Amino acid sequence: MNRLPPATDLFSRAQALRHDYLNAKPWPHVVIDNGFSEELLDAIAAEIAKIDPAHLISSLDDRQIKQEASDGLGPATQYFLELVDSARFREFISTVTGVDNLLSDPTHKFAGAHRTPSGGFTKIHRDFEVHPATGLFHRVNLLVYLNRDWPDSYGGSLELWPSDMSAIGRRIFPRFNTIVLWETHGATLHGLPDPVTCPPDRMRLSVASYYYTKERRPAVAGERRTRYWAARPEDDRSIERVDWLDHVRAVTPEALKYLIRAARDQLVRKRPY
């Protein structure tokens, strides 16, 4: 495909975006409009909507209903991921977030293509901390939304919450060509907690890349990793439950977690969504 660059002013805006990032609530992040070529994002959206089901991982439980894929991606999606994983783009991200020495993940484990069908959701949560294969520390998230002609009635907003879950800090509507960038850690609670209400023939689409460092981020105030999920004031508190399986996960070595997840992925791929 053609080499389609991001919008020409994205890199030149890094210092201004750094200011916006530091002053954002409930924790540092930045939302950027129209950062990439529309032609490129339209091509990615078309590819993600038609991903071979054999490459999709489906999550179906009371905490999340979603689909994701990190392989079997189309040429436009692969090009985009190569672009945002490049040294120049990582330098841009470091300037905005203040996180230096960022490394990309060529496998895009847990990132890549994300799809949320009608009725789908992901409850408020903290992200994983350690990459299951490399052992690198998960530090920064980049999300780009791909949803054209997406009225407010379809929902699908990303919610950002403070660590005490006292009140929502920000709601970000998943409009086409909207970028969301933040350093992820135990106090950056976020999610898509309300079911998407689009028609059955539509899906909420996004593409994501995660970035890593060799060093662990120093713990921050309000960080708590014993619970992955967090309940909003109006939610059923059972979302936060820590059962025997959660305790097992907490003491399981990352390498073993990766093997378990890989086996589960193979089983899920064989089931119809």
In which band, very low, low, confident or very high, does the pLDDT at 265 lie, cut at 50, 70 and 90?
A: low
**What pLDDT was estimated at residue 242?**
72
Output 25 or 265, whichever has higher pLDDT. 25
SS3 content of the chain, % helix, strand, coil (to 5): 30, 25, 45
Asked if pLDDT for residue 2 goes beyond 80, the answer is no
**What pLDDT was estimated at residue 15?**
96
**Other residues' Cβ atoms within 10 Å of the Cβ of residue 167:** 10
Tens digits of per-residue pLDDT, 108-128?
Answer: 999 999 999 999 999 999 999
**What pLDDT was estimated at residue 255?**
57
Tens digits of per-residue pLDDT, 6-43?
Answer: 555 799 999 999 999 999 999 999 999 999 999 999 99
Q: How many Cα atoms within 13 Å fall on the side-chain side of residue 151?
A: 4
Asked if pLDDT for residue 226 goes beyond 70, the answer is no
**What pLDDT was estimated at residue 227?**
78
Tens digits of per-residue pLDDT, 59-90?
Answer: 999 999 999 999 999 999 999 999 999 999 99
**What pLDDT was estimated at residue 273?**
40
Question: How many angstroms separate the CA atoms of 35 and 10, rounded?
Answer: 6
- The residue-averaged pLDDT of 236-244 equals 80
Question: How many angstroms separate the CA atoms of 41 and 147, rounded?
Answer: 9
Q: Is the dihedral of CA 93, 97, 103, 109 positive or negative?
A: negative
Contact between residue 155 and residue 194 where contact means Cβ atoms under 8 Å apart:
yes
Question: How many angstroms separate the CA atoms of 142 and 36, rounded?
Answer: 13
Q: What's the Cα-to-Cα distance from 114 to each of 14, 49, 87, 99, rounded to whole Å?
A: 26, 10, 24, 25
Question: How many angstroms separate the CA atoms of 172 and 89, rounded?
Answer: 23
Output 90 or 3, whichever has higher pLDDT. 90
Task: Kindly report which listed range (94-108, 113-127, 215-229) carries the lowest average pLDDT score.
Answer: 215-229
In which band, very low, low, confident or very high, does the pLDDT at 3 lie, cut at 50, 70 and 90?
A: very low
For the chain, give the percent of residues with pLDDT over 70: 83
DSSP string, 54-74: GG-EEEESSSEEEEEESSS--
Beta strand ranges found along the chain (DSSP E): 30-33, 57-60, 64-69, 112-117, 121-125, 137-145, 158-161, 170-172, 178-183, 189-192, 203-213
Tens digits of per-residue pLDDT, 166-203?
Answer: 999 999 999 999 999 999 999 999 999 999 999 999 99
- The residue-averaged pLDDT of 217-224 equals 72
**What pLDDT was estimated at residue 253?**
64
Read off the pTM: 0.87
Domains in the chain and their CATH numbers?
11-269 (2.60.120.620)
Mean pLDDT score across all residues of the chain: 89
Query: Which residues share a beta bridge with 179?
Result: 32, 144
**What pLDDT was estimated at residue 241?**
84
| CA-closest candidate to residue 84, choices 105, 99, 109, 110 | 105
Tens digits of per-residue pLDDT, 241-258?
Answer: 876 556 565 566 655 655
